[in-house]
């Protein structure tokens, strides 16, 4: 089906666009009362994510309500370790929790990397519904967590400010770490292949915990696996978003990805110099959306001017915060469109 609005894909490929495309990380979420209503109906976050009809409904809401230039399938990065054999729980006000973690080589041997389409059928079913309901209005983004970020959760068992347990393994048993990272990468590529098959027009890889690593560790334990993922998808654009890894921008730009996402701490002009031949995405501080409307508009215009209108996708520097006023979000989106 031909897309009516392919701005995102053209920008990702470095082609000229009539205007800058815009979408937001976590755009399908608690900022919308419509999302909260569906979430209440589902009963829990995991029930919402694993019920195709409901996941599809909240995926479509930002397109219909906010006017973004792309839908991103509603899911969670932790469905991959769950499909590999490591189920998780979502603890209210605390976040994800893994009752069982990876501790030994035997634990790694038990992990599964194949049959992702069967194990995660609910994700693909929701994608099929979304593609049908979108009717070609905007592209659909598929996503996954980067191998290192998934590794953090599989070792640590929950969120952490330091991920010291996970980092300890990198120092104490690097061979073990690489064995697990390799398995995660295989499972992730299999999962994303399914997403492309079911209609993902662009893929984004979230390395949410990249910033806990030193430059040397990031080069050793993340970049090679991001390269494998990028190289596996010549058929669709790939975006790499490594939050906090300001030191890795040049290395990321040398991979075969099409887009490099920036967080709000990454200087725009410097990033253009380090990554001259890629599309950049980002990078408004989500807290700007707490400002008065005039300031949201001013900051958004300043950002777009700094990036320039070519090889650029407007976004926040991380996910939109759940207590953000949806009208401020609309102001951000409409300002980008008017630039």
Whether residue 178 is annotated as binding a ligand: the answer is no
Whether 311 sits among the annotated catalytic residues: the reply is: no
Chain-wide mean pLDDT for the chain? 97
Whether 26 sits among the annotated catalytic residues: the reply is: yes
Q: Which residues have C-beta within 8 Å of that of residue 113, sequence separation ≥ 6?
A: 84, 183, 186, 187, 190
pLDDT cut 90: percent of the chain above it: 96
Per-residue pLDDT band at 53 (split at 50, 70, 90) = very high
- Cα–Cα distance measured from residue 21 to residue 317, given in angstroms and rounded to the nearest whole number: 15
* 39, 119, 249, 311: the active-site residue: 39
Contact 37, 171 (CB under 8 A): no
* 30, 36, 137, 228: the active-site residue: 30
Whether 137 sits among the annotated catalytic residues: the reply is: no
Whether 76 sits among the annotated catalytic residues: the reply is: yes
pLDDT digits (tens, 9 = 90+) for 264-314: 999 999 999 999 999 999 999 999 999 999 999 999 999 999 999 999 999
Whether residue 319 is annotated as binding a ligand: the answer is no
Q: Can you give the residue ranges of every domain in the chain?
A: 7-338
- Cα–Cα distance measured from residue 21 to residue 45, given in angstroms and rounded to the nearest whole number: 29
* 153, 191, 218, 312: the active-site residue: 153
Output the 3-class SS for 143-212. Answer: EEECHHHHHHHHHHCECCCCCHHHHHHHHHCHHHHHHHHHHHHHHHHHHHHHHHHCCCCEEEEEECCHHH
Whether residue 76 is annotated as binding a ligand: the answer is yes
Whether residue 153 is annotated as binding a ligand: the answer is yes
Global pTM?
0.96
* 76, 201, 207, 258: the active-site residue: 76
Whether 132 sits among the annotated catalytic residues: the reply is: no
Whether residue 26 is annotated as binding a ligand: the answer is yes
Whether residue 12 is annotated as binding a ligand: the answer is no
Whether residue 29 is annotated as binding a ligand: the answer is yes
Per-residue pLDDT band at 2 (split at 50, 70, 90) = confident
pLDDT digits (tens, 9 = 90+) for 160-216: 999 999 999 999 999 999 999 999 999 999 999 999 999 999 999 999 999 999 999
pLDDT higher than 80, residue 92: no
* 6, 26, 191, 263: the active-site residue: 26
CATH code for the part of the protein at 7-338: 3.20.20.210
């Amino acid at each position: 089906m031909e897309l009516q609005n392919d701005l995102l894909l053209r920008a990702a490929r470095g082609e000229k666009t009539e205007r800058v495309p815009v979408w937001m990380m976590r755009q399908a979420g608690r900022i919308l009362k419509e999302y909260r209503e569906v979430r209440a109906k589902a009963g829990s976050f995991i029930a919402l994510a694993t019920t195709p009809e409901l996941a599809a409904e909240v995926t479509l809401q930002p397109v219909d309500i906010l006017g973004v230039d792309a839908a991103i399938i509603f899911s969670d990065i932790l469905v991959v370790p769950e499909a590999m054999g490591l189920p998780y729980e979502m603890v209210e006000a605390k976040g994800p929790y893994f009752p069982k973690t990876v501790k030994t080589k035997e634990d790694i041997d038990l992990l599964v990397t194949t049959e992702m389409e069967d194990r995660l059928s609910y994700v693909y079913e929701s994608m099929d519904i979304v593609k049908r309901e979108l009717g070609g209005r905007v592209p659909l983004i598929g996503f996954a967590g980067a191998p290192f970020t998934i590794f953090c959760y599989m070792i640590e068992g929950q969120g952490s400010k330091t991920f010291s347990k996970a980092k300890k393994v990198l120092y104490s048993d690097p061979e073990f770490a690489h064995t697990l990272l390799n398995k995660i990468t295989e499972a992730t590529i299999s999962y994303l292949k399914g997403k492309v098959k079911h209609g993902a027009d662009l893929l984004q890889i979230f390395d949410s915990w990249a910033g806990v690593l030193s430059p040397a560790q990031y080069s050793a334990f993340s970049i090679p696996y991001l390269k494998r993922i990028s190289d596996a998808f010549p058929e669709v654009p790939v975006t790499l978003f490594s939050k906090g890894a300001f030191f890795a921008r040049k290395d990321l730009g040398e991979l075969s990805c099409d887009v490099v996402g920036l967080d709000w701490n990454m200087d725009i002009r410097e990033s253009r110099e380090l990554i001259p031949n890629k599309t950049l995405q980002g990078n408004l501080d989500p807290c700007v959306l707490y400002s008065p409307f005039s300031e949201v508009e001013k900051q958004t215009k300043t950002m777009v001017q700094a990036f320039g209108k070519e090889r650029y996708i407007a976004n926040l520097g991380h996910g939109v915060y759940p207590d953000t006023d949806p009208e401020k979000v609309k102001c951000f989106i409409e300002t980008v469109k008017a630039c």
